A and B are shown apart, each in its own frame.
With several copies, the nearest count.
Chain A
Amino acid sequence: MSVALREGVSEEVRATADRMAVFLSRFIRDGELVFHGVASPLPMAAIVMARNTHAPNLTYLNIPGGVDPKPPYLPGSTVARQLMEGALSYFTLTEIFDLSARGKLDLAFLGGAQIDARGDMNLSFIGDPAAPKVRLPGGAGSAHILPTAGRTVLWRTAHDARSFPERCDFVTASGNVEAVVTPLCIFEKADGRLRVNSIHQGVTPDALRAATGFDLGDLEHTPATPEPTPAERTALEAADPEGIRLREFV
């Protein structure tokens, strides 16, 4: 499966997946309680990788409920039983919501089908919510986690004007968004609005503007996102040798 997956994607997609996983991992601080939810291969790879690099004392929480599991390999579903193997304790999703509600979840990674200029996200409806053009899967825990977790980092594997509009068709969740990682850039949220923090290597400001549905302001002095270091690449490859992170791109 994984060999087929690797063969099926271009070098460019592969580079994007690696970058995004590495960039997500950089937001993890050592010692933090870190959570990802359903449909989250990139954060899963990022967390496992961070534990083997700069954040050996993070505590890894997930939906199956394994606290600090040592998965034998990364599963294609991020709700699979491998995320309980080698765990020290079980801590259900219900407990994770409570933990976040009482202000003790440090960092959560959440995805969005749309992420808007305010850093709000939509996983519910495209079009009119009363008669949606697209019924999206739903926001899972995001409406709860975004406002209650200490910090959240969003990501989306597609960066285009529909995915990054001025305003979401429906705000599934809004809250303590620190940053958004995309294939083109890293946004940070400041004063209630997303600003480009850094642009990935090889991406021009104009290309970024064209791919974004909201105004990005002045990008002249925006730095380039530092490329994954050799050490980061090695750690990512060790964390996810089968390339499960590529699943987000096929």
Chain B
Amino acid sequence: MSGKIISLTQAAALVQDGDLLALGGNALTRIPAAFVRELARQRRENLCLVKTAGAYDVDLLCAAGAVAQTQTGYVGFENLFGLAPSYRRGVEEGRVQAVEHACSTVIAGLRASAYGLPSQPVAGLEGSDVAAHTGFRQVKDPYTGEPVYMVPGIRPKFAVLHVAYADAEGNARIEGGAFEDVLMSRAAESVILTAEHIEETAFFVEKPDRTAIPAFMVQAVVHAPGGARPGGCHPFYDIDEDAVGAYLDSASSAESLQTHLDSWVERDHAGSAAASGSVA
């Protein structure tokens, strides 16, 4: 039952300063929140983050000063709480380079890596300033002569994905929306899973069509029940709006952010301490 299971502390330590990380989930749903908090606790720096629509995860790492660059289509708290304050501040103050994407160009960049290509064509973008601003180049389609935008490959060092179920080898089942997690797992050099539940391998053999991530792609598995909180994780819990609001109240200063991180530390490590037999 050990296999690839390590503690949250150990898993976050796999990430080096400067790494490009793809974060699973979308907005406030099934985000790798416990992992992201641990990266902040470990004071990781200069991370580059890839995500279609980010919220708490991207903003918290910006608040912690851990982010050099983002490649995202959207970062915000929707109509719940509006703009992402630390992401905003980081970009406006020039500490965070926000590479402007459409969600579809993030996907195209991930597809390029997943397909072993230097870049991937993408439809759309006509009339938008995004392509020129970000520097997406065009080629002439060799059959029609039409110009086509190409998005350069995005190859994360790790896809960090929070899933419903995993086994010790890294087979993983997602419940509810998969978002771009499956594509991220293929585009990344390797995958780190945090999982609500650790199951025996027989659980996956029973419904192999439900295994979204095969074990051979996965480097590490962390047992992290509640690991998407304060986001939601189907079918276990919903978005905790009060807790998201409490984060936003804390994100304005280093001290209050540390208080926020401290307030989660026990919950974040509860599963992996139990699984690995050592408190982080």
Contact = CB atoms under 8 A, between A and B. Distances in A.
A109 to B, nearest CB: 14
Contacts of B73: 138-141
Interface of B: 26-29, 52-53, 72-76, 78-80, 83-84, 87-88, 91-92, 94, 98, 100-105, 107, 113-117, 122-130, 133, 171, 176-180, 183, 186, 201, 204-205, 208-209, 211-216, 232, 234-235, 238-239, 241
Nearest to A173: B128
A93 B79 CA distance: 20
Given A94-B180, A171-B127, A175-B127, 18 more contacts: A75-B238, A76-B239, A80-B232, A81-B176, A88-B214, A90-B209, A93-B52, A97-B103, A102-B113, A129-B129, A135-B92, A142-B102, A143-B104, A144-B104, A145-B124, A173-B127, A247-B79, A247-B80
B46 to A, nearest CB: 19
5 contacts: A79-B78, A80-B27, A140-B103, A144-B105, A147-B128
Contacts of A84: 176-177, 208, 234
B130 A135 contact: no
Q: Find the residue from A67, A79, A80 having the highest chain B CB count within 10 A.
A: A79
A101 interface: yes
Contact of A39 (B29, B78, B88, B177): B78
Interface of A: 1, 33, 38-39, 41, 59, 63-67, 75-81, 84, 86-95, 97-103, 120, 123-124, 129, 131-148, 170-175, 247-248
Chain A binding surface SS class: loop
Contact of B116 (A79, A102, A131, A132): A102
Contacts of A170: 129, 133
Q: Which of B27, B94, B232, B241 has the most CB of A within 10 A?
A: B27
A95 B180 CA distance: 10
A135 B29 contact: no
Contacts of A63: 26-27, 53, 177, 179
A237 B146 CA distance: 48
A97 B186 CA distance: 12
Given A78-B78, A141-B102, A87 B205 contact: yes
Most buried by A among B53, B75, B103, B117: B103
Contacts of A143: 102, 104-105, 124-125, 128, 130
Nearest to A157: B79
Contact of B126 (A41, A79, A86, A174): A174
Nearest to A39: B78
